[in-house]
Structure 1
Amino acid sequence: MNTVRDFLAVAERGSVRAASRQLGVAQPAMTRSIHELEKELGTELFERSARGVTLTAMGEVFRRRAQALRSEMRRAQDEIDQLKGRRNGHLRICMSSAAHMALFPGALRPFRQRFPDVDLEVIDAVLPRVERELIDGTIDFYVGPSSDEPTGELIVEKLFDNERVVLARRGHPLAGARSLAELTGAEWITTSVTHRAEDELTPLFYSRGLPAPRIVVQAHSALTFFFTVAYSDMLMMLPLQWEHSEPFAGLLTRIDVGETLQAPPIAIVRRAALPLTPAGEYFCDMIRRAAIHRRSFMDPA
């Protein structure tokens, strides 16, 4: 495992010297470790230059496997510790903006009470941005919109169906529009829950005989969504949770088009091959509980 550790440190830092300082390992020992690994694999993993090192094509392939191995070793240690009754470890998850708003507050407090010493790393993104990391195990699980069916590599567990709304800045000249047809001249910002940005809006407009919307910004951060919409004339179609979220509602307004704008369901997506750690499974349980509470609130009947 030391050779894998050394390889990843060099790959991440871009030089043997920097990796040696990071790990507190003598530089000659680090160099020997890399050479031994390359000899064992029968291929060069790095291209050397005066400015440092870069991964070869084979090095990139090995890096993905090495990251997955490191993640699994960490996860195995966490699982053993947690099964022994310890509450330490690390959990790396990804949540979309809608999942943050609808589910994260209800899950965080009980999780912290149960696992106070687990370090929680949370990424704000949608599934296409992290799918590879889910599959290789460097992310434990994802919560957010998923239009994908379960596959051999990933399990998709639907939590609830969702809708979208069109949001604009306060005082937007199109604020009084009552149909998508009245928005055909607008500029749009989008983030896609598929692998192509235009897939989020274009089919919706085409299905109503309208020209494709003009997408001028593709973003991957909730803050980018907010600041772009709040301080420009661009529009965005976002999950309805945005309309009522306190940090954003004061500067955004809903354009109440008559069409129903379905959104991909909110789901938990995780690897099929291996179980989560006890901490990971408990966090998912708290997400499920928050989703049930949300459904009860939205439909009290």
Structure 2
Amino acid sequence: MTERAPFTVSDMILNRLKLRPLLIFDRVLRNQSIARAARELNLTQPAVTKAIRELEQQLDTVLFDRNNRGVTPTDCGVLLGERVKSVIAELRYLTDELNTFKGGVVGHVVVGTQISASARLLPRAILLLKARAPKILVTVREGPQDYLFPALASGELDVVVGRLPEPDAPLTARMALSHRALYRNSLCVVAGGHHPLVNQSDLNPHHLAEWPWILPPLDSPARRVADHFFKESGLPAPENIVESLSLLTNVNLLVDSSFLGLMPTAAARRFIAAGLLSQLPLGDVGPPAEVGFSIRQDKPLTPASRQLIECLKLAVQEDPVLPGYN
């Protein structure tokens, strides 16, 4: 069998790889579907399929396995996907730097967030940012820590805002990330405004045992806090549960049902003030967690990212509800 000749840098960059097929490849990889990628890119499915096939021919390898439910990346596809994320991130950095050099306050910041910051801190910071630099594009992606921090390390995200990882967390131990705490926030027990426990006299933790619960997923730091709360309260672990980190889903479940849930106090206050939720008078659940932002250590911040971080700090300083460090 003839051995394939290795690629050289000039061969790949000058003669083979073009940017447009790489961008199409990235969208297909994200969606695991050619049809969905075509819709998002406003292209026809044959055009997307052709771009992927040409890329596979250029790299002399198969990037996706096709099946009835979509496409699944091969090992080579996964490898290329990681590198393409970095390429796209570098292009965003270059665009911001060029726009800044030309004197315009524009740019693009991609921020990842968690429930601890998505209800209050981040929206306020975005409003401050838009007031000073309305042409900066802000893209927000919500997810768990095991998605957000790897995406930050690869350059897919510029900033992560939310609960900071624990100092000895294995997930981030080997990542070149820097974390800055802005305030501390505890969890509280919440229910819909019409829940029977809202008007329960002499409420204590044992009244919680018979109700269904919304809890963070098992691998979430907040879930460990929840499990410790049940154990310390002498309660069995709830059997009727929904695991969710979606703020919108959680609020609607609480409003429309008898579910109970745990929510960061700063996030809960917004919905309590709107009459949607009630905080049960059981005090703080677990120790306060540090909430702030995380960035890469090995890459300078883009001008747009610096602007957002300034607005995050200012949002904490101006908000009496958030007990900031500064």
TM bracket (short chain): 0.7 to 0.9
Q: Quote the offset at 1:113 in angstroms.
A: 3.4
Residues 1:89 and 1:25: Cα distance change in structure 2 (over 3 Å): farther
Question: Paired residues, what number?
Answer: 295
Q: Quote the offset at 1:62 in angstroms.
A: 1.6
Q: Which moved more, 1:26-35 or 1:287-296?
A: 26-35
Residues in 2 aligned to 1:181 and 1:75: alpha-carbon distance in whole angstroms: 53
1:193-208 equivalent positions in 2, closer than 5 A: 194-195=219-220, 198-208=223-233
Residues 1:174 and 1:57: Cα distance change in structure 2 (over 3 Å): same
* Aligned counterpart for 1:241 among listed residues 245, 250, 266: 266
* Aligned counterpart for 1:137 among listed residues 134, 155, 163: 155
TM-score where L is the length of structure 1: 0.82
Q: Quote the offset at 1:254 in angstroms.
A: 1.4
1:264 aligns with 2:289: yes
Q: Quote the offset at 1:158 in angstroms.
A: 0.7
TM-score where L is the length of structure 2: 0.76
* Aligned counterpart for 2:24 among listed residues 9, 15, 32: 9
Q: Quote the offset at 1:26 in angstroms.
A: 10
* Aligned counterpart for 1:146 among listed residues 164, 172, 196: 164
Residues in 2 aligned to 1:167 and 1:123: alpha-carbon distance in whole angstroms: 25
1:116-195 equivalent positions in 2, closer than 5 A: 116-149=134-167, 151=173, 152-175=175-198, 176=200, 178-192=203-217, 194-195=219-220
Secondary structure at 2:213 match in 1: strand
The one-letter amino acid of 2:63's match is L
Residues 1:163 and 1:9: Cα distance change in structure 2 (over 3 Å): same
Secondary structure at 1:267 match in 2: strand
Unaligned runs of 5+ in 2: 1-12
Q: Which moved more, 1:16-25 or 1:183-192?
A: 16-25
Residues 1:272 and 1:22: Cα distance change in structure 2 (over 3 Å): farther
Q: Quote the offset at 1:44 in angstroms.
A: 2.9
Q: Quote the offset at 1:163 in angstroms.
A: 1.7
Q: Quote the offset at 1:74 in angstroms.
A: 1.7
Residues 1:49 and 1:108: Cα distance change in structure 2 (over 3 Å): closer
Residues 1:195 and 1:298: Cα distance change in structure 2 (over 3 Å): closer
Residues 1:22 and 1:140: Cα distance change in structure 2 (over 3 Å): farther
Q: Quote the offset at 1:49 in angstroms.
A: 7.0
Give deviations 1:172-201, integer Å, cap 9, x for gaps.
222326332331232210235954774241
1:99 aligns with 2:117: yes
Secondary structure at 1:87 match in 2: coil
Q: Percent identity?
A: 24
Q: Quote the offset at 1:6 in angstroms.
A: 0.7
* Aligned counterpart for 1:210 among listed residues 217, 235, 245: 235
1:23-172 equivalent positions in 2, closer than 5 A: 31-36=53-58, 38-39=59-60, 43-47=61-65, 54-149=72-167, 151=173, 152-172=175-195
The one-letter amino acid of 1:134's match is L
Q: Quote the offset at 1:260 in angstroms.
A: 5.1
The equivalent residue for 1:227 is 252
Secondary structure at 2:139 match in 1: strand
Q: Quote the offset at 1:132 in angstroms.
A: 2.1
Residues 1:265 and 1:35: Cα distance change in structure 2 (over 3 Å): same
The Cα RMSD (Å) is: 3.5
* Contact 2:266-2:322 at 8 Å conserved across structures: no
Residues in 2 aligned to 1:23 and 1:117: alpha-carbon distance in whole angstroms: 32
Q: Quote the offset at 1:141 in angstroms.
A: 0.8
Residues in 2 aligned to 1:103 and 1:52: alpha-carbon distance in whole angstroms: 38
* Aligned counterpart for 1:255 among listed residues 261, 280, 295: 280
Residues 1:53 and 1:296: Cα distance change in structure 2 (over 3 Å): closer
Q: Which moved more, 1:173-182 or 1:283-292?
A: 173-182
The equivalent residue for 2:7 is none
* Aligned counterpart for 1:278 among listed residues 291, 303, 319: 303
Q: Quote the offset at 1:4 in angstroms.
A: 5.0
